[in-house]
Copies of this chain bind each other. A is one copy, B any other.
Amino acid sequence: MFAEVLTIGDELLTGHTVDSNSAFIASKLTEQGYWVRRITTVGDDVEEIKAVVGEILARKPEVLVISGGLGPTHDDVTMLAVAEALGRKLVLCEKCLERIKAFYEKLYSEGYIDDPSLNEGRKKMAYLPEGAEPLENTGGAAPGAFIEHKGVKIFVLPGMPREMKAMLEKEVLPRLGRRKFLQRKFLAEITDESKLAPILREALERFNVRIHSSPKGFGKYIGLIIFAEDEGELEKTVEYLESRGIRLEEA
């Protein structure tokens, strides 16, 4: 029941841009009940993307969300690379082409661009891997794609945060199943987090939960996040921690 996230863009690998997309995607997947097991970032390079998509598929996640590299320029190669990784052809999505045409005509009529015609780069965005379902982009030209491949739900989204977020909320999340695990955040009152270690270890042995702790400086509060598949296990863990003298406050 796990998911992976793949973000694509040279600007992420040079550190010019902080990859906030993957955190946004991961938080939404986590809320939806998925355990995000790995986030990977590679550049705008067909061979790199192909390689990493192949590696991810071999780990058999339930869901793979890919973001970035759908635009009209020479370095936007994500759809091509994904198609190649899946052994599928890129095929023209007529509906997408109509949508792209209308998009540029609207920009032209509003004076944003001086040529509304469908040049090579703009047409490129209408090609999706064979068998993909197009995902609507309410904020830009490039459609996304949803592909079910050997049991993995693959979503390919744009990299522009505004476009990616809208597509994730409107097109991706409704296609995913219901919440499968719970998480609850607490502030634990204790002088130093190293004192927590033995108590948390005992809790992990007793209950079917995962616990993440993070220091809040050297003050007396430690942030705890408890993950469980079952409300009962989560409750029992909280009771146990409190019985061991840790004061928990829901955060």
Contact = CB atoms under 8 A, between A and B. Distances in A.
Contacts of A55: 55
Contacts of A200: 73-75
A20 interface: yes
Interface string A198-211: 10110010000011
Q: How many monomers of this chain does the complex have? A: 2
Interface stretch (A81-89, A113-121, A147-155, A237-245): A113-121
Interface residues of A, number: 69
Given A112-B218, A196-B73, A213-B73, A183 B19 contact: no
B40 A39 contact: yes
A182 to B, nearest CB: 12
A43 B44 CA distance: 25
Contacts of A122: 194
A28 interface: yes
A191 interface: yes
Interface in A60-99: 71-75
Nearest to A72: B194
Nearest to A27: B15
B18 A75 contact: no
Given A23-B17, A41-B22, A195 B10 contact: no
Given A73-B213, A194-B119, A39 B12 contact: yes
A193 B124 CA distance: 13
Contact of A10 (B44, B73, B204, B212): B212
A48 B41 CA distance: 17
A24 B30 contact: no
Contacts of A198: 120
A11 B43 CA distance: 24
Given A22-B41, A73-B197, 17 more contacts: A12-B26, A14-B183, A15-B29, A15-B30, A19-B39, A38-B41, A38-B42, A38-B52, A39-B40, A44-B212, A73-B213, A74-B197, A74-B200, A75-B211, A112-B218, A112-B219, A113-B191
